[in-house]
Amino acid sequence: MLSDSSEQLDFTPEIDMDCYPSRNGQKAQLVDRLDPVTYPPKAQLPPIGQAAIKQYATQGFIVLEDVFTAEEVGNFQAELLRLEEDESIRSSGEIITEPGSDEIRSIFRVHESSPVFKQVAVDQRLASVASYLLGDDVYIHQSRVNSKPGLSGKEFYWHSDFETWHVEDGMPRMRALSISISLTENFHHNGPLMFVPGSHLQYAVCEGSTPKNHFLSSLKAQEYGIPSNDCLQTLIEKGDIVSIVSKPGSVTVFDCNLIHGSNSNITPHARSNAFFVYNSVNNKVVSPFSGLLPRPEHICSRNKINPIISTAKVST
């Protein structure tokens, strides 16, 4: 395992080399991460404190409070309501509904379909953090709003985003991260994000193989690409579980390989978060390592990649 989260690789593999095989006949197991967690530029002032950077490197996540104002959050909430009621969005194929109902679970590609969220995606309060931690210019690999309706929102089972993005999308290395904006109160009881601290330092190889068009069912309820019970138990016994309780306007930044999930929402309190996945421009996707056809563009930016240039200050 890497002893220093910013340590550079000892080798430079071909970009299409499968350095993290999974769902290929191997038994379920945990293997050490090959990539650094952070790539802090030496000539750039960090947009967040050193304590936060250290926590991100060791635990795989940080929570930044009060990043967006109440007025901004109100605009986000109004925009989400507009998207949910827009029939063209509903018929676009970019909405995922809850299993067994027509209630909205996820709206994908909001950085393209929504003028409001398009501005948020390039907001330097987010992009500068992503660019600094990844040590590169970044682009949006995926964006979405995840909602959990009150009394009916279903769970998202434990998984590593990177395992799916690697196998099904062809993301070569662990040089990406997610930033989640709390659009509503995330209580302990309404299905908040749950993280396994430190789990990003190991890669959970998953069993089975990937069915064709897996995304049609996996985005409702994932069956393939989830760690085994033994792997989960090992990681949780080592790192425990942290529920991300946060107020509207707070921001959670987490590594692409961090094991996470969330419980069902059986309370009347709906929960919604907006997610923006930032990927290094030097880590663009290649052919999926599953050997299957790529997932649609609204799930994985493959053809439309717009680098976001960070305006963070350079130290002198």
Domains of the chain, with CATH numbers? 30-60+88-143+164-177+211-259+292-306 (2.60.120.620)
- Six-digit token pair at 219? 């985005």
Residue 64 pLDDT greater than 90, yes or no = yes
Beta pairing partners, 63: 252
Q: 185-221, pLDDT tens digit by residue? A: 999 999 999 999 999 999 999 998 887 866 655 565 6
- Six-digit token pair at 162? 């990177």
Instruction: Give the integer Cα–Cα distance in Å for 11 and 284.
Output: 19
Give the residue-averaged pLDDT of 290-306.
Answer: 94
Instruction: Give the integer Cα–Cα distance in Å for 194 and 75.
Output: 26
For residue 96, what pLDDT is reported? 86
For residue 218, what pLDDT is reported? 57
* Best CA proximity match to 59, nearest among 239, 192, 231: 239
String of DSSP letters for 173-232: SS-EEEEEEESS-B-SSS---EE-TTGGGEEEE--S-PPTTTHHHHTTS--SS---HHHH
- Residue 130's H or E segment, with its range, is helix 124-134
Mean of the per-residue pLDDT values of the chain: 91
For residue 223, what pLDDT is reported? 76
